[in-house]
């Protein structure tokens, strides 16, 4: 099938058509031409922006085992509505993704709208003790290894994992957190936590592990990716490591760019996050890290939770929020960074982290595209929400910016307002 996108404003710093209005012809899953053309189907994109398809490095689809929170079908639907053509799913399911059969389960449920990339567990059952069969899993298409939100605390295990993956050319994804310093904590340690009477997690918890892991990386080789960094010193440590040419990358969650520990003032559990929202100075350091290229990508950290896990006293509630469908409105709240830089961090940056081929808006490129209306206003509520869960900090709020379609090769999804 052929599709013509008319009057589209292209935002893609790596495209020769960046910041230009073009008619884009798509045929058989490829971008064929720019300019006057005819097609079986035409879509007027006046007032809309077309970018490379968005890629999320960190989302939880809860399948298998926790399908009442989200499953692959609902996760794919909400990801597509949020603008994503590719999603890297985390291994912290029940059971965890540790074998080729587990990967096959994900692949069998994959839908054409969104390409799923699988991050398999570093250790069996996420126990941090014994490595999974990394070579076999890599041969089966696994593109990264992670223990999800469980930090790889065992230094010997991390060393072995980096040595193995250096031969496989894939990164180890680390959630940097000292399990002892963060035990039983509820939020960032600081003035706000003291005022609220909640036990805080010190920034040191993250920074110690970042520093430790960079030392191990320098010794072992391989590639490490720090998922969802949150503190100013972590940014500085990674910036310095990159200057030393260490093979390190990192990402930040979208919510950490707009929320701080002050957001927890009314004990709303939708603002309980892992890692916790830090101080305003930390948030500004994350912004600076994105601007200067220290931070490679922005992830959703989509984490569905059922009502029973959230409608509790703050200290008992589970951490996390749904964030895929509201990713664009959240992105547009980051006023300190040019929009084209933000787009680069959700398109090219994530693919570079995993060593995948570029996706650009140019002739003969694979048709992976996101279409968005930056001025469209909409309300997130039960009617508009496509996730199985409702734990969003934007619930019942009027939002600005909406994805109106995605194209993933020959799969075309156009959404009504």
Last residue of a domain, one of 353, 383, 406: 353
Q: Are residues 40 and 74 in the same domain?
A: no
Average pLDDT, the chain: 96
Mean pLDDT of the 357-364 span: 96
Residue 417 pLDDT grade (very low, low, confident, very high; cuts 50, 70, 90): low
Mean pLDDT of the 398-417 span: 94
pLDDT recorded at residue 362: 96
- Does 377 map to a domain? yes
Q: List pLDDT tens digits, range 250-294.
A: 999 999 999 999 999 889 999 999 999 999 999 999 999 999 999
HEC states along the chain? CEEEEEEEEECCCCCCCCCCEEEEEEECCEEEEECCCCCCEEEECCCCEEEECEEEEEECCCCCCCCCCCCHHHHHHHHHHCCEEEEEECCCCCCCCCCHHHHHHHHHHCCCCCEEEEEEECEHHHCCCCECCHHHHHHCCCCEEECCCCCCCCHHHHHHHHHHHHHHCCCEEECCCCCCCCCCCCEECCHHHHHHCCCEECHHHHHHHHHHHHHHHHHHCCCEEECCCCCHHHHHHHHHHHHCCCCEEEEEEHHHHCCCHHHHCCCCHHHCCCCCCCCHHHHHHHHHHHHCCCCCEEECCECCCCHHHHCCCCCCCCCCECCCCCHHHHHCCCCCCCHHHHHHHHHHHHHHHCCCCCCCCCCCCECEEEEEEEEEEEECCCCCCCCCCCCCCCCCCEEEEEEEEEEECCEEEECCC
Whether the pLDDT of residue 157 is over 80: the answer is: yes
Percent of the chain with pLDDT over 70: 100
Residue 313 pLDDT grade (very low, low, confident, very high; cuts 50, 70, 90): very high
Q: What's the sign of the alpha-carbon dihedral 270, 272, 273, 279?
A: positive
- Does 273 map to a domain? yes
> Out of 63, 86, 178, 301, which one is annotated catalytic?
301
Q: List pLDDT tens digits, range 203-224.
A: 999 999 999 999 999 999 999 9
Q: Are residues 265 and 147 in the same domain?
A: yes
How many domains does the chain divide into? 2
Q: Against a cut of 0.85, is the pTM above it?
A: yes
Q: Are residues 126 and 261 in the same domain?
A: yes
- Does 299 map to a domain? yes
Q: Are residues 78 and 181 in the same domain?
A: yes
Q: Are residues 377 and 251 in the same domain?
A: no
Last residue of a domain, one of 331, 353, 375: 353
Q: Are residues 13 and 156 in the same domain?
A: no
- Does 138 map to a domain? yes
Q: Are residues 83 and 186 in the same domain?
A: yes
Mean pLDDT of the 239-250 span: 98
Q: Are residues 146 and 44 in the same domain?
A: no
Q: Are residues 332 and 388 in the same domain?
A: no
Domain of 76 in residue numbering reads as 53-353
- Does 379 map to a domain? yes
- Does 358 map to a domain? no
Whether the pLDDT of residue 68 is over 60: the answer is: yes
Q: Kindly report the CATH number assigned to the domain that includes residue 133.
A: 3.20.20.140
Q: Kindly report the CATH number assigned to the domain that includes residue 397.
A: 2.30.40.10
- Does 179 map to a domain? yes
Indicate if 301 belongs to the active site.
yes
Q: Are residues 60 and 45 in the same domain?
A: no
Q: Are residues 327 and 295 in the same domain?
A: yes
Q: List pLDDT tens digits, range 72-121.
A: 999 999 999 999 999 999 999 999 999 999 999 999 999 999 999 999 99
Q: Are residues 393 and 334 in the same domain?
A: no
- Does 359 map to a domain? no
Last residue of a domain, one of 353, 380, 397: 353
């Amino acid at each position: 099938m052929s599709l013509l996108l008319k009057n589209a404003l292209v935002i893609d710093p790596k495209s020769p058509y960046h910041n230009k209005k073009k008619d884009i012809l798509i045929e058989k899953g490829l971008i064929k031409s720019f300019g006057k053309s005819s097609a079986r189907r035409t879509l007027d994109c006046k007032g809309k922006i077309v970018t490379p398809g968005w890629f999320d490095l960190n989302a939880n689809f809860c399948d298998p085992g926790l399908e009442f929170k989200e499953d692959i079908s609902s996760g794919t639907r909400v990801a597509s509505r949020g603008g994503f053509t590719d999603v890297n799913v985390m291994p912290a399911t029940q059971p965890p993704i540790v074998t080729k059969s587990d990967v096959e389960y994900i692949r069998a449920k994959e839908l054409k709208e969104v390409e799923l990339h699988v991050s398999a567990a570093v250790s069996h059952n996420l126990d941090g003790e014994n490595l999974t069969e990394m070579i076999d899993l890599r041969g089966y298409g696994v593109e990264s290894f992670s223990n999800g939100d469980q930090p790889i605390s065992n230094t010997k295990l991390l060393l072995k994992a980096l040595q193995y993956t250096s031969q496989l050319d894939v990164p180890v994804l680390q959630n940097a957190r000292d399990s002892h310093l963060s035990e039983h904590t509820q939020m960032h340690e600081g003035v706000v936590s003291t005022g609220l009477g909640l036990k805080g997690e010190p920034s040191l918890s993250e920074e110690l592990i970042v520093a430790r892991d960079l030392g191990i990386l320098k010794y072992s080789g391989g590639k490490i990716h720090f998922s969802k960094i949150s503190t100013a010193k972590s940014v500085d440590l990674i910036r310095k490591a990159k200057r030393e040419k260490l093979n390190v990358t990192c990402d930040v969650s979208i919510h950490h760019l707009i929320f701080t520990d002050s957001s927890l003032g009314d004990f709303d559990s939708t603002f309980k996050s892992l890692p916790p929202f830090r101080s305003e100075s930390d948030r500004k350091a994350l912004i600076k890290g994105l601007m200067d290229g220290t931070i490679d990508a922005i992830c959703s950290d989509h984490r569905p939770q059922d009502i029973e896990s959230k409608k509790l006293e703050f200290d008992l509630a589970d951490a996390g929020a749904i964030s895929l469908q509201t990713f664009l409105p959240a992105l547009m709240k980051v006023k300190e960074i040019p929009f084209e830089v933000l787009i680069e961090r959700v398109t090219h940056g994530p693919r570079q982290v995993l060593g995948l081929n570029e996706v650009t808006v140019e002739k003969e490129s694979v048709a992976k595209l996101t279409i968005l209306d930056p001025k469209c206003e909409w309300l997130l509520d039960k009617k508009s929400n496509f996730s199985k869960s409702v734990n969003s900090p934007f619930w019942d709020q009027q939002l600005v910016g909406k994805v109106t379609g995605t194209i993933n090769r020959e799969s075309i999804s156009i959404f009504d307002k």
